[in-house]
Amino acid sequence: MSSSGSQSIQSVLKETRTFAPPATFSAEAHIGSQQQYDAMWKRAKDDPAGFWGEMAENLDWFRRWDTVLQGQMPETQWFVGGKINASYNCVDRHLLGPHRNKAAIIWEGEPGDTRVLRYQDLHREVCKFANVLKKLGVQTGDRVTLYMPMIPELTIAMLACARIGAVHSIIFGGFSSEAVADRNNDARARVVVTADGGWRRGKEVPLKAAVDTSLDKCPTVEKVVVVRRTGGEVDMVPDRDFWWHELMESVTADCDPVPLDSEHPLFILYTSGSTGKPKGVLHTTAGYLLGTTMTSRWVFDLKEDDTYWCTADIGWITGHSYICYGPLSNGATVVMYEGAPNWPDEGRFWEIIEKYRVSIFYTAPTAIRAFIKWGDQWPEKHDLSSLRLLGSVGEPINPEAWMWYHKVIGQERCPIVDTWWQTETGSIMISPLPGVTATKPGSCCRPLPGIVPDIVTRDGQSLGPNEGGLLVMRQPWPSMLRTLYGDHERFKKTYFSEVPGCYFAGDGARHDEDGYLWVMGRVDDVLNVSGHRLSTMEVESTLVAHSKVAEAAVVGFPHEIKGEGICCFVTLKSGEGDEALKAELVQHVRHSIGALATPDQIRFATALPKTRSGKIMRRLLRDIAAGRESTQDTTTLEDLSILAKLRSDEE
Ligand code: PRX
């Protein structure tokens, strides 16, 4: 797409099955009819300020806003003049009535240990940790890095930051120490909160040790707080490192939430782009909280007695928005699980659903494909009758995986919400409404109220039904990112310069004759590996940093479980590559970025295919990696013999 001159993207997927919501579901749903949805959507489109102002009544404010929406994309501000606190909305406001004793977090560790935190308990812990942060010198606006396993202390630390207006930056526990160092430095973090380790498939992931390595390169970090989770050996540096439990004993549980401006930064979350270092996506308080609060209610149809489980890691945006802020703001009961889905066996998720009577289950297509591979006998062993709604996120879901999810997990009873959104959008943008939408497997269906997408050519012209093009947003929405931390120019260039007047974040899509959206994947050089965004460029620069590598080109190829696998074409400074060097390069990438970036294929080449102007012909490499005949015009190829060589090296 990016290199072709054609204006639209060819779509080959045709899906005609539809699944209407059960009448009983619609009757009880927050949004229960097409008329209701149509009216909300139209109202929000015609009068965004009026609509979102009304929705904002669902949050608790210390001071009401003066102006709902100020400015135009990309420089928009929401609820200007308002004062609010996200921690107050997620915790304190639920203490006023019977929610006080409701479970906020039901946690299960991988080894099988469990904890339940009622809203009262969560409040006490959040207040105490906020006092700990203050004691360590953290002030409103300071950045705090959280590099932690999936334990309740992670949610507590997020909300404690939000309580005092510190900006959290969570780094997924699977990233390496080098990635931690980069992010600490970019955010200029003052404090890091971590754990001795976390459990993953029975093994300890040593987090504190990775932090220690990173800190040699992080001059801004003054203090480290360490949760004792695994009991593994750690080095504690005097005056720098402190145990969580010791600090918590030294403070009270009284800590008033700070009334913050609506636009006060809530968090930074790093995500991959097609060029350069990871981007620090910055979200602000009121708009983000409103987006996650309302979409949790609309899309997951959260009710008082639901037990809701999102299997994402909090280190990704899905965990931020739909384990922490969205559900807790709604006073929901959230299940949180520390470990792997296949530990101690492949039935672990279904066992958890049965054990806690989970009613809403939100996971990713890559997980669903793994469940299919492991076999129906695992879910069949468990009682899944508590489920009433299923969700999917992170990448397009293949219609066959959708059907399996519908039949085997949902037992043909549960609506499926295929939710399209991004780190940058903060909350769900395009999704079925479970009480309204007749779903089509593989389609994320219609935009939510307040969201105005379009499918356009590069010059911004709207395309008709079934013409593939670029997915853009024509109107601002409250939970959109406000900037890339420390690089506002990059923010404007990345999202607002591609298509005039619109937000664009890199996906191709089409809508069908019924107005349903079908996302066709990324059009930039971003891989989607197991639902996680990785930049080809970052993997390439990592490879080139190896002393033996001259040049590298990284492309994705279809992968049965991961969605996309990583294929690296590598040229060496001298000599021939062998199996040992392949293994060394794989380790090198794992070490530099983390296990999620582990290359699936390394292919040595004497040269890379380039156009006469020197651009690597990526589409050609993608075809080779996928074992396809290429349709790309090779007349611009500098040296045709390279092609034959690359093909002959196929594994
Ligand atoms: O390509 C789209 C894909 O994931 C990208 C966003 O990645 P990230 O910021 O890491 O956030 C993932 C979780 C929200 C999008 O640009 N994507 C996400 N959800 C879907 C999807 N593609 C198709 N269908 C989805 N439901």
Q: Find the 394 Cα to ligand 1 centroid distance in Å.
A: 4
pLDDT number for residue 518: 95
Q: Find the 559 Cα to ligand 1 centroid distance in Å.
A: 17
23-451 fold: Rossmann fold (3.40.50)
pLDDT number for residue 634: 63
Question: What does the pLDDT look like over 223-277, one tens digit per residue?
Answer: 999 999 999 999 999 999 999 999 999 999 999 999 999 999 999 999 988 877 8
Taking the CA of residue 506 as reference, the ligand 1 atom at the shortest distance is: 16
pLDDT number for residue 204: 96
What is the best residue among 274, 424, 444, 519 to mutate for testing ligand 1's pocket, by most ligand atoms within 8 Å of CB? 519
pLDDT at 5 over 60: no
Range of weakest confidence among 40-49, 269-278, 317-326, 439-448: 269-278
Residue closest by Cα to atom 25 of ligand 1: 420
Residue closest by Cα to atom 11 of ligand 1: 422
Q: What 3-state DSSP class applies to 61? A: coil
The residue type found at 549 is V
Partner residues linked to 175 by β-bridges: 594
List, as one string, the DSSP characters of 390-428. Answer: EEEESSPPPHHHHHHIIIIISTTTS-EEEEB--TTT-S-
Residue closest by Cα to atom 21 of ligand 1: 395
Q: Give 484's Cβ-side CA count (13 Å radius).
A: 21
Q: What percent of the chain has pLDDT over 90?
A: 85
What is the best residue among 11, 270, 392, 393 to mutate for testing ligand 1's pocket, by most ligand atoms within 8 Å of CB? 393
Assess whether the region 23-451 and the region 546-650 belong to the same CATH fold.
Answer: no
CB 246 within 8 A of CB 236: no
Q: Find the 420 Cα to ligand 1 centroid distance in Å.
A: 6
| Cα gap 505→177, rounded to integer Å | 28
The residue type found at 92 is D
Question: What does the pLDDT look like over 534-566, one tens digit per residue?
Answer: 889 889 989 989 999 998 999 999 999 999 999
Q: Find the 522 Cα to ligand 1 centroid distance in Å.
A: 9
Residue closest by Cα to atom 23 of ligand 1: 396
pTM (two decimals): 0.93
pLDDT at 648 over 70: no
| Cα gap 531→162, rounded to integer Å | 27
The DSSP output letter for 327 is: H
Task: Give the mean model confidence (pLDDT) for residues 190-200.
Answer: 98
Residue closest by Cα to atom 3 of ligand 1: 395
pLDDT at 81 over 50: yes
In whole numbers, what is the pLDDT of the chain averaged over residues? 94
Residue closest by Cα to atom 12 of ligand 1: 394
Residue closest by Cα to atom 8 of ligand 1: 422
CA neighbor of 21 nearest in space, from 605, 489, 373, 413: 413
What is the best residue among 495, 518, 533, 538 to mutate for testing ligand 1's pocket, by most ligand atoms within 8 Å of CB? 533
103, two tokens: 């479970």
Question: What does the pLDDT look like over 106-141, one tens digit per residue?
Answer: 999 999 999 999 999 999 999 999 999 999 999 999
Q: Find the 532 Cα to ligand 1 centroid distance in Å.
A: 8
Q: Find the 209 Cα to ligand 1 centroid distance in Å.
A: 32
pLDDT number for residue 640: 60
| Cα gap 52→29, rounded to integer Å | 21
| Greatest Cα pair distance in the chain | 74
What is the best residue among 421, 471, 516, 535 to mutate for testing ligand 1's pocket, by most ligand atoms within 8 Å of CB? 421
The residue type found at 341 is P
Confidence of residue 604 (pLDDT cuts 50, 70, 90): very high
| Cα gap 273→280, rounded to integer Å | 10
Task: Determine the distance from the C-alpha atom of residue 115 to the mean position of all C-alpha atoms in its chain, rounded to a whole number.
Answer: 25
Residue closest by Cα to atom 18 of ligand 1: 394
Question: What does the pLDDT look like over 415-429, one tens digit per residue?
Answer: 999 999 999 999 999
Q: What is the four-CA torsion angle of 425, 426, 429, 431, rounded to 10 degrees?
A: 140
397, two tokens: 């879901």
pLDDT number for residue 12: 58
Range of weakest confidence among 26-40, 492-506, 528-542, 621-635: 621-635
Q: Find the 178 Cα to ligand 1 centroid distance in Å.
A: 25
| Cα gap 371→166, rounded to integer Å | 39
pLDDT at 636 over 80: no
CA neighbor of 202 nearest in space, from 343, 398, 51: 343
CB 117 within 8 A of CB 105: yes
Residue closest by Cα to atom 5 of ligand 1: 422
300, two tokens: 């997951």
7, two tokens: 């204006």
Q: Find the 318 Cα to ligand 1 centroid distance in Å.
A: 10
Question: What does the pLDDT look like over 119-128, one tens digit per residue?
Answer: 999 999 999 9
Q: Find the 507 Cα to ligand 1 centroid distance in Å.
A: 9
Confidence of residue 516 (pLDDT cuts 50, 70, 90): very high
Which of 3.30.300.30, 3.40.50.2000, 3.30.450.40, 1.20.1050.10 is the CATH number of 546-650? 3.30.300.30
Task: Give the mean model confidence (pLDDT) for residues 395-409.
Answer: 95
Confidence of residue 630 (pLDDT cuts 50, 70, 90): low
What is the best residue among 420, 471, 495 to mutate for testing ligand 1's pocket, by most ligand atoms within 8 Å of CB? 420
Distances (CA, A) of 150 to 268, 371, 435, 467, 475: 19, 21, 31, 42, 35
Taking the CA of residue 423 as reference, the ligand 1 atom at the shortest distance is: 9
Residue 474: partners with Cβ closer than 8 Å, 6 or more residues away: 452, 453, 454, 501, 502
Q: Find the 439 Cα to ligand 1 centroid distance in Å.
A: 18
Residue bearing tokens 């909280």: 289
C-alpha dihedral sign at 231, 167, 420, 5: negative
Task: Determine the distance from the C-alpha atom of residue 338 to the mean position of all C-alpha atoms in its chain, rounded to a whole number.
Answer: 17
For the chain, which residues make up each domain, given as ranges? 23-451, 546-650
CB crowding 373-401: b at 16 or more within 10 Å, else e = eeeeebbeeeebebbbbbbbbbbbbbbeb
Residues touching ligand 1 (Cβ under 6 Å) are 271, 317-318, 393-396, 418-423, 444, 505-507, 519, 521-522, 528, 532-533
Residue bearing tokens 């974040």: 505
What is the best residue among 296, 369, 398, 528 to mutate for testing ligand 1's pocket, by most ligand atoms within 8 Å of CB? 528
pLDDT number for residue 514: 94
Residue closest by Cα to atom 22 of ligand 1: 395
Range of weakest confidence among 398-407, 550-559, 631-640: 631-640
